[in-house]
Structure 1
Amino acid sequence: MAITIYQNVAALSAQRNVGQSQNAMNKSIERLSSGLRINSAADDASGLAISEKLRGQIAGLQRASMNAQDGISMLQTAEGALGEVNTMLSRMRELAVQASNGTYTSNDRVEIQKEVEELKNEIDRISSSTEFNTKKLLNGDGTALWSSSSDQIEAIIRDDVEQGNYKIQLETIAGENQIFKTDIMTLRDDVIGSEIITAGNANETNIMSITDPESLNATGSAYYTVTVGDTTATSTADVGVTGFFQNPGSGFIVSAVGTGAGTLSSVPGYVEIEFSESVYSAAVGQTITANVRFINALTGEKGDWGEVTMTDATGNGVFTAGTTDFGGTLKNTDGNVINFDISVGYYTGAVQSGDKVLVNVSPMPAGAVGTAGLTSSGGGTIKVTGGPNNQPGPTIVFTGASSLTSADNGDNFIDTQDKTIYLASINTKTGNIDVGNFTMNFRENTSTANTAVGTTLTGDLSLAVTGAGEAASTTSKLNDLAVFVDSDGNNLFENKQELTVWGNGTSATIYLEGNDTLADVEEKLTKAIVEGLGMGSDDNNVNSHLVDYVSIAESDGVKSVKGTFIIQTALTGEQGEIAFSGDQALIEGLALNEIQESTNNTTKVAVYDAHTGDLKGTDETGNDRVYGVIDGVEIVLDSRAGVDESWNTTTGSIDFTTNKAAAQKEYFLHIVDNSTDLQIGANEGQTLAVSIPQLDVTGLGLDNVTLVSQDLAQKAIPDIDAAINQVVSIRATIGAQINRLDHTIVNLDTAKENMTASESRIRDLDMAEEMTTFTRYQVLSQAGISMLAQANQIPQMALSLLQ
């Protein structure tokens, strides 16, 4: 071998081998320090690709397992809430069975209903507030969202939905509403009632009602006629005969009566004339004495007795008396003298002691004579005629501005001004003077000439007076009704009473007091149904007849029984059904009887795709609900959709008819899928759909569950059973999904374990093998370095040759 100094090939070779050993050792150190066989793509390009793919799957499986665990937590949250709902439904069913027992009173069932209402409220609260990570679970929002173009169309989410925009058209055949009738409201003993009768003699006046009758005889069909009028330029004071009484054997007539030269003062009323001696035959200059007194028609007050002497001046059998004969002995209740002319003919018989004559006195107050405009300023005249004894009263003049009718004050209430007048009549059998009274309520009515005063409307009205045992009038008070007085004489309305009306998923309570009239009851019940329950109509004429007291019976129909209340709503079918609760004595007194059962509308429903117009499906429903046309959605129809209601004046009932225009109306329903999909796999499409339906009171069909009567409590049992079955079914589904997710987690963990082992085999380092390799390269490196040192000594050998 040649010895050179310019090129040390041996050293270069040694250096190269040392470098390779160092690189191999550094690679080995990298692997040993990282624990990985593949630290870069250069280590194993295909192995790295496979490893990274496996790593992605492993991470996905890990996340999917965690997702499944989160899903279990979510489902357990929902199932826990439903478990409590299940418990409440079981309690509700227990209460329904309890309320179905006839041993309970209405008051007891009201207390039971209170618990039911609280349970329903809590079910609604749980449905609206149960959530997981702010996601609602039980109100249907976790499955789908919806909105509609009208409040007459609603949706209940039942399952996975077919989202989209839908056009809905309805064709409805109207059903019937539920109608209740009460017991006959008769007046208790010593009570009378008054009623304005418009049949055959319409009320032309602005008298809205006549109330508080006292000491008047029942009229039967012989009604009083109340005339509201005005004065004229020719109006004068007047005296008329109201009636007279004759003892057996007496025979006389009031041949003439008039104002003559007398003074009638300014107080209208009656004059009672009672003869104090007997005369059996006529004689010239013969006299007879009589006691006289005044009865005030505005206060009912009776004046002091005076004495008048009547003379038969000509002997023709006629006693007369005038101004000088009264001589100031007759005075009204204000102390003013009253004089008038009267002639009593006894030529047909005799006048005996105790015989009586009752005359009516109609003075013309100052300011009224020659004035024809009293009514235009709220005044006017009142005269009562007819009645069971056909005994007319005086003309009572009211001259003051707004003395009868006040101006409308512009508020939302119909205000009235009350005016009480007294009627005196003479009993033709006993001679007693009966003084009764009633109050007229004049409706406010602003004058067109002067807005500061009212205008009184003139005309006639007929007034019926009912007696004890007869049907009460609209102005009769509750504490005057026989049905509310028990066998011991206790009146139910000695204390205020509560009456609660249930319907449309809610309730409205009214408070009844003894001074409430039957007209007040009408108004309160109507307000409760229309405003409290929302079961009225857009037609106010219909609303005004939802509660009617039958004061005038009709020949047939629902108003054929006088003295009863007719109670109904403006909704047909089950949606229009109502129930009542209150004190047991009140409910028994009302004795409500369902005289017409409700029947549901029959509705043909067509559903179209709102964008393409394609028909999605049709259905005909008799319970205002449609399910199956739109997947997962139950369509709820308001019973008023497609139906018109109007008041039929001929039949006295509400007519429900098909609204033909509504058949052309289009309703729109917007459905958006908002279902919860649990990602339970590492790849696309590996999901579990979780759909929990709407489980509030509406979704469970418990809106109208009321236990306030035995019948309603029994009807509620199957409804509650259906709700329990629905909740149990959902709980079973949730439980099955939880079990499935448990198995899913185990499977995911197993797959992750096996896939991790596979990835480990590709990428992880065999430490023992690599340590052997490292040791080999470490030794080679050391040997190489040693040889490199030896090779570097070879050029030194050339120096020894040069020496």
Structure 2
Amino acid sequence: MIINNNIPAMNTYRQMGINQAAGQNSMSKLATGLRINQAADDAAGLSISEKMRAQIRGLDQASRNAQDGISMIQTAEGALQETHNILQRMRELATQASNDTNVEVDRNAIQDEINQLKEEIDRIGNTTEFNTQKLVDGSIGAKKAPGVDNAAVLTEGLGKATAAKLAGAVDFNDGTAKISDVTSAINDATQTITVDGAKIDFNVTQSGLQATAGDTTGASFATYLQSQINEGIDAYNSKYGTDVKHVSVTAADDQISIESGSTGANSGVATTVATTGANNLWEIAGLDVSSATTHSVSGTDGQFTTAGAANVAAINGTEVAEGTLTFTDGHELTITGTTAAGEKGNIDIATTVGDGAAPTASIIDGVLTIAMGTEASNNTVTDIESLVQGLGTIDGVDYSEFTVTGTGDFVTATGVTAAAQTGAMTGGGNANADTSVVTIDGKAINVTWGAVGSNDPSQGDSMNSYAQHIQNDINAAIASYNETVPASERVNNVTVSVQDGAFVVQSGSDKATSSIKFDNSEASQLLGLANQSSATQGGGVSFQIGANQGQTIKLTIEDMRADALGVADVDLSTREGAEAAITSINNAIESVSKQRSSLGAVQNRLEHTISNLNNSAENLQAAESRIRDVDMAREVMEMTKNNILSQASQAMLAQANQAPQAVLQLLG
């Protein structure tokens, strides 16, 4: 028997503490009615419960939102009901005024009432509001699909035969294919290439790369590019103590190849393009040198190739953006341009490959984009219109009213484009398309473009129809020019044809050719294409009818005022006017009926939505309650048990404290 440590008393004391803590926990749960009062009570349960609570509150608010939406709809529908009543009265008056038993005084009296009714329709449209938001004035109507400058739509992605795209003239005098005023387009810039996993910066300067088309060959460009990249590699190795091998850049068989000097990294990367024309006009596919304030040089389409696949990963050391060089086995090499401070020029070694794709239509961020693919010479306005049929209203934009007028596949680009030319010819510039200056054989010819008439191309025709139209205008200008100059100075007629999606103009003297492209405004005026842009309106209203993002119902209410309904100009002062008014009012009644029907359908949908939301919230609340709420009867039982155990442990502690006193009997 020991007396320094009373082990039974210590054990009893510990158990008493446990029982008292359990009793206090039970009392806390009974006091709040919650099984979880702090995270320690049930960590996982608390997390699940809070997520459910967020959903429940969201569903409850969504239900209230739907109810508010119904109130808005009922407000608008009530206003349109009155508009309906007014239109019915107007139709009754129009029918009355159509009867010739009425004299002028009678019809004037009828017209006075009609005028008041029209004003009331406008007043209802202008003043009907819900929470200060106007409802039937068109401000929450469907946004009309923007009209399209047809030349721009019909020509997206069609240009295939360009060698140089300039904002100014393309001069081919004296048989020299020299692109004037281009050197200023190449600004000093810093480029980046990834070699053996290392990002190498190299410089491209105006003085280092001559940009005159007639002087720039594939070999000279390859030599310059190789020297600049390898200088960047040397600087990288010096800075980081690495041993990245030099690259070799070669030009052969119409391609530029960049090859790493590392062992095994032998997948030469190339971009190919057919070389056409004379005077060493080397067209480097995908080489795009541009500046915001100068001209630009563009190559034609080509394709990327790679020789072999051994150790390609040695080159693939960086994240690659979309649209860059792609190896056939999926690996990628990135060459990106980063302009130096103060400069806006860039060089992108990239290209696209023509695939004969058909026209496509897509909607991204509310913008309708129509791309004609690469079937350049056969696409027509009819192809465009077929793309938008059946789109209907999407996100409040009514694409079913999309309109394309005019004709044809027409290449669009700012400025004049030349394609592998010889001889002496200059294409027209960027002036207003009504009158342009076309220089042929060094002679400036003022061409007045004729308006599209009854004998000119019509909707659905292809580019060939327009080629004749342009040829006639140019040759008419040449004839006028020849009448004013000596015989030795006269200019031969030109022929206009379609090649690779462009209008190709050929001189009658020395067969010089020029591929002419117009910008949007020029094409519209030249071909008589009307810009059908519609006034931008609202895109409807959205009702948030769910607890999460994107769970919405969209509602549009069109303009229900007199002008939009077509009754603003109703005149019953004559029998003929009264008879015509009957049809106009019938159409207005039909428009209001259609809008009211739409409102009723959305209201019914919202009522079903509310019922579903309430059901979801109820069941989710039940699930959350099972996690969070306490079972009162069971917890009372637990508290009673803990109280009894606590009292028992106190009694046993008293007994344990008395036990060591038995030692005194041994001393007696």
Question: TM-score of the superposition, structure 2-length normalised?
Answer: 0.42
Question: TM-score of the superposition, structure 1-length normalised?
Answer: 0.35
Instruction: Please state which structure has a larger fraction of its residues in strand.
Output: 1
Instruction: Please state which structure has a larger fraction of its residues in helix.
Output: 2
